[in-house]
Chains A and B, each alone.
Chain A
């Protein structure tokens, strides 16, 4: 708690120099972290936006299909809408798992080394 309160200066005392940041950003270790993050987050973002847009377009232009009854009064539109909820929950869970397993250990290793050196 108290450790999180920053000192009144513009930057915290332990901030490494710009040269160190540049060196780390070019290191293989950071490269791995960056690609591990980007290769997961970017395609997934494109995918869920495409899936959402597909749903929006179907709602606009495929009324008959969306109105097809599945069970009782529950139709395709409702099922697809609920599927958007489900995929949102699943993607959130999947990202959290990926981040904890693949990103956090790498990020923490770099952070503690940089702050220790400073």
Chain B
């Protein structure tokens, strides 16, 4: 065992009671919220959309809570701590992406849909095939994203409680899965939203505290912080410039461009983010939520700079990598160092920050599970299997059972993915969302000529290309860091498929439309256009 793990685990085991108490307080509080929300959940609009009664600010907070995942907090801070400037590139893509949601998607979606992304995709198309496609891609994207969160939970707990055995990590993954099933089946969207709001406040408060402590160490002199980070990293000025991670070869440079495109176009195609806009009464409130989210998320990412460079300046790089190869534990380790390694404060700070990270994971997995089970129940069960004849009660029952099913699947997959890089997995979810979902959303809303076959080509084509390229990429095989390091069947050189799969998704939408003889439903498009811009008849 490395010294840091021993220290962290030693400090942790001494204060194990404290850590478990903090976890339990958060879990108990969220369960109370869930039960309270469950009592108020009566009809489908309550379960899927939290009764559409949240304010723009509340939803902005919840959107931030839904978006700032373990990848943001643990992954980005860790990437900055290890690769310096290249870690910061993630934050920029994750933030700029919100402008796509703000300018093109949030308000039209709120105005014309009811519960799911499929509502908008299928609005003027043949319902059954398009809803099946929308449901499929919703579930695939959400499961990719879920895996990342599950892997993050395993990492965190192994650091915190000194559990390094596989059995222990799998146990934690199962616990996370169980809690998210409880949150979603009982609390529905209302409970999930409140859990996400609480988590957003905790996460921002935790980041503020650490940022303040880091800056205090350097007398609020940012240049000095950067200088010490560069020195301590052993890489000098290069640590503050782009290229340490992605500038190595021509291939890694292309990989970075691929990642950059996936990040900026992925957000507006993430189903668990999109359904959040149904929780407010109007498109104006949806706009307000995005504006709040941009402010909160932007501020948070600025703080991850301080956390990442702070960790680089104060902790030896090999201490970070021996604790977790991908750097996922840099933020909790930073808390320990800021409080003092041998002091009670260090352990208390470590426990607090880890509890915040755990809360982060729980809130995000609840959002993801809700998105996929809603889409299963509303798009696939009610509109495809029952052909629109399901009662609301049947639909909600289907959503609850789907939650249990998706929870079980993600526990199994999460246990398998427990050692994968958290930020990398999330980037894949973004690539799939940008390839399979965004083209159809944009064409449906703005291109009159777009047809059902265009939508199907784009969704399935984007989905298959993105997932297929990942399958044959170094993420899955051929490298020591791959999912199957001992096998090698990769031929696609990039880790992120976005550079190819996103243009393919957009292109196939056009090709599928032009090749089909199908006439677009012009009247239905007029209806969608008027509704999406004016909010006439919005639910």
Contact = CB atoms under 8 A, between A and B. Distances in A.
Interface of A: 1, 4-6, 8, 10-12, 14-16, 18, 21-22, 24-26, 30, 33-34, 37-38, 41, 44-45, 48-49, 52-53, 55-57, 59-61, 63, 66-67, 71-75, 77-78, 81, 84-85, 88-89, 91-93, 95-96, 99, 103-104, 107-108, 110-111, 114-115
Given A34-B533, A57-B257, A18 B523 contact: yes
A10 B388 contact: yes
B163 interface: no
A88 B95 contact: yes
Interface in B58-107: 85, 88-89, 92-93, 95-96, 98-100, 102-104
B537 A15 contact: yes
Given A14-B537, A22-B526, A52-B260, 14 more contacts: A12-B537, A18-B523, A52-B92, A56-B257, A60-B256, A61-B253, A67-B240, A73-B227, A75-B237, A88-B96, A88-B98, A91-B99, A91-B103, A93-B291
A92 B102 contact: yes
Contacts of A107: 533-535
Contacts of B165: none
B43 interface: yes
A21 B44 CA distance: 27
A20 B470 CA distance: 47
A110 B85 contact: no
A18 B523 CA distance: 7
Contact of B260 (A8, A30, A53): A53
Contact of A25 (B93, B256, B530): B530
A44 B96 CA distance: 13
Q: Can you list the 4 inter-chain pairs with the closest CB atoms, starting with the nearest?
A: A72-B223, A25-B526, A59-B242, A15-B537
A37 B530 CA distance: 12
Given A72-B227, A111-B535, A77 B85 contact: yes
Q: Which of B298, B446, B533 has the most CB of A within 10 A?
A: B533
B105 to A, nearest CB: 10
Interface string B292-313: 0011001001100000000000
Interface residues of B, number: 67
B99 A56 contact: no
A105 to B, nearest CB: 11
21 contacts: A4-B53, A21-B523, A21-B530, A24-B530, A38-B446, A52-B96, A53-B261, A56-B89, A59-B89, A60-B247, A63-B247, A67-B238, A72-B223, A72-B227, A81-B85, A81-B92, A89-B298, A111-B535, A111-B536, A114-B534, A115-B536
Interface string B7-32: 00000000000000000000000000
A4 B99 contact: no
Contact of A99 (B53, B243, B287): B287
B454 to A, nearest CB: 20
B223 A71 contact: yes
Interface of A, helix, strand, loop or mixed by DSSP: helix
B500 to A, nearest CB: 16
B88 A81 contact: yes
Q: Which of B264, B524, B526 has the most CB of A within 10 A?
A: B526
Given A81-B92, A95-B103, A115-B537, A59 B256 contact: yes
A111 B99 contact: no
B110 to A, nearest CB: 12
A27 to B, nearest CB: 9
B43 A110 contact: no
Given A45-B103, A84-B95, A37 B533 contact: yes
B359 interface: no
B190 interface: no
Nearest to A82: B302
B45 interface: yes
Contacts of A85: 92, 95, 298, 301-302
A14 B44 CA distance: 20
A55 B526 CA distance: 38
Given A25-B530, A66-B241, A74 B253 contact: no
Nearest to B52: A4
B534 A33 contact: yes
Given A85-B95, A89-B295, A92-B291, A73 B230 contact: yes
Contacts of A4: 45, 51-53, 281, 539
B392 interface: yes
Contacts of A66: 241-242
A44 B533 contact: no
Contact of B104 (A33, A41, A61, A114): A41
B253 A75 contact: no
Q: Which of B264, B298, B526, B534 has the most CB of A within 10 A?
A: B534
B246 interface: yes
A6 B523 contact: no
B284 interface: yes
Nearest to B114: A6
A15 to B, nearest CB: 4
A84 B227 CA distance: 23
A24 B529 CA distance: 10
Contact of B536 (A44, A52, A104, A114): A114
B527 interface: yes
A93 to B, nearest CB: 8
A55 B302 CA distance: 17
A52 B222 CA distance: 25
Contacts of B102: 92, 95
